[in-house]
Amino acid sequence: MKKTWLLGFGFFSISIGWALYNGFVPFFLNNYLSSTALIGFLMTMDNYIALFLQPYIGSRSDRTRSRFGRRMPYLLVGIPLASVFFALIPFHQSLVTLIIFMLCMNLSMAIFRSPTIALMPDITPEAHRTKANGIINFMGGLGAILAFSVGAFLFSVMESLPFIAVSIIFLIALWVIYKNINESRDGISTNFIQQPTMKYKTELNKQTLFLLGAIFFWFISIQGMEALFTLYGVNEIGLSRSASAFSLAFFSLSFVLFSIPSGLLGAKYGERKVIMVGILGLIIVFILLSGVHSALALRSILLVGGMFWALVNINAYPFVMATGSEHSYGTRTGLYYLVSSLAAIISPPTLGLLIDWFGFGILFYTAAGSMVLAFLCILKVKIRAPLASEARISSP
């Protein structure tokens, strides 16, 4: 558990970076662009990169051997680069320089994202992964809270301040992980690094495909909502830029508070059941948000929504890992982000186009509809996949 908390600093840095990016970069783009659809498209840049790069890097890290370990080399390269380009974003001088800084930052983030997350199953026995995922997502949610609260305050003082602060946090997180996690010492198994390749047909079984489908649809909902929420708060409810970003802190706050309990519930009752409850709750939350026109009501419902999102998100990744073998943790992490990236590519520009046509009021109705599709997919995952140890016993 100590190692899990320390690894959580990596998730903390990733989460605070993306929360700040999603919360404030749309305002920079809005200074040059009037189309919400085009802004939504540019906000999916990271997902186009992740679509091609993260599965490759996740798979490659499964086979990497170095004196630093399998995952650590990618952190040592990617995090410092991301720190530099993240700090440069608010200093753009034109739309072109803004997009260049965004592109370089996203490429850097893609280098270390999958290896960082794959470290969790590397050092955690399967029976404890839902609890471990709860801990590291607690850290990630804490990062989002700081991005939307402290970050909103810093943004109101000077727009560059939160970006510089997060760049420093990136480097601190790298130092904490590097000093405290040794892959050869802390890994629960090291013999599977001899596996040179993986068989996708074997890994992509029926249970995995339905689960990936569910993940796709709930990320359609969440990614689109988060990418366009700050613009929604300004244009639909009349909030200031900083107040709109601060409102998302309530969603992140309840996510943080309920992340560890969600992992415990998943371990006790099974990931599938807990995920289903979370999806149903989010459907209700999004429908209620569609009729809200005050900041107090908006934040109150978001507070409840974060709790249900924790039930879904905390248990999803361990469930994906459980559908395969220990030989493919990095690759399956890449697949997890491949699906979420596809969703995030499609969602913001599509929701942005619908907003251009029908107004910002359509945002949460679309989010609720996508959650319905996610629920239908998760219904098809009838039973929990066998443990990795069971899979090894039955493998030829």
Dump pLDDT digits (tens) for 272-323: 889 999 999 999 999 998 888 888 888 899 999 999 999 998 888 777 776 6
Q: For residue 40, give both structure tokens.
A: 């939504």
Instruction: Confirm if 24 and 202 have CB atoms less than 8 A apart.
Output: no
Other C-beta atoms closer than 10 Å to the C-beta of 221 total 28
What is the pLDDT, as a whole number, of residue 100? 93
CATH of the domain at 276: 1.20.1250.20
* End-to-end Cα spacing for the chain: 34
The Cα–Cα gap between 195 and 320 comes to 20
Taking alpha carbons only, the member of 113, 355, 106, 373 closest to residue 221 is 373
The Cα–Cα gap between 119 and 15 comes to 16
Residue 175, amino acid? W
**Alpha-carbon distance values, 222 to 120, 173, 248, 340 (Å):** 23, 26, 12, 10
What is the pLDDT, as a whole number, of residue 388? 38
Q: For residue 130, give both structure tokens.
A: 């839902």
Q: Which domain holds residue 10?
A: 2-394
**Alpha-carbon distance values, 28 to 39, 64, 146 (Å):** 10, 38, 20
SS3 of residue 216 by DSSP: helix
Q: Which of the 8 DSSP states describes residue 293?
A: -
Number of domains in the chain: 1
Instruction: Confirm if 223 and 344 have CB atoms less than 8 A apart.
Output: yes
* 92 burial level (CB within 10 Å; 0-12, 13-18, 19+): middle
Residue 384, amino acid? R
pLDDT tens readout for residues 71-97: 888 888 889 999 999 999 999 999 999
* 396 burial level (CB within 10 Å; 0-12, 13-18, 19+): exposed
SS3 of residue 32 by DSSP: coil
Q: 125 or 143: which carries more pLDDT confidence?
A: 143
State the virtual CA torsion across 147, 149, 151, 155 in degrees, nearest 10. 140
Q: For residue 327, give both structure tokens.
A: 């030989």
* pLDDT cut 70: percent of the chain above it: 84
The Cα–Cα gap between 86 and 101 comes to 7
The Cα–Cα gap between 62 and 118 comes to 9
Q: Is the pLDDT of residue 385 over 70?
A: no
> Where are the alpha helices (H) located in 31-128, listed in sequence order?
36-42, 45-63, 72-88, 95-123
pTM score above 0.85: no
The Cα–Cα gap between 230 and 42 comes to 15
Q: 38 or 136: which carries more pLDDT confidence?
A: 38
φ, ψ of residue 111 to 5 degrees: the values are: -65, -40
Taking alpha carbons only, the member of 242, 381, 255 closest to residue 306 is 255
pLDDT tens readout for residues 321-372: 766 665 566 667 667 877 887 887 888 788 888 888 888 878 889 999 999 9
What is the pLDDT, as a whole number, of residue 104? 92
How confident is residue 224, by pLDDT bands cut at 50, 70 and 90? confident
Residue 158, CA atoms < 13 Å, CB-side half-sphere:
6
Other C-beta atoms closer than 10 Å to the C-beta of 31 total 9
State the virtual CA torsion across 241, 12, 114, 250 in degrees, nearest 10. -40
**Alpha-carbon distance values, 188 to 42, 50, 184, 266 (Å):** 40, 28, 9, 22
Residue 319 sits at the vertex; the CA angle it makes with 316 and 324, to the nearest 5 degrees, is: 135
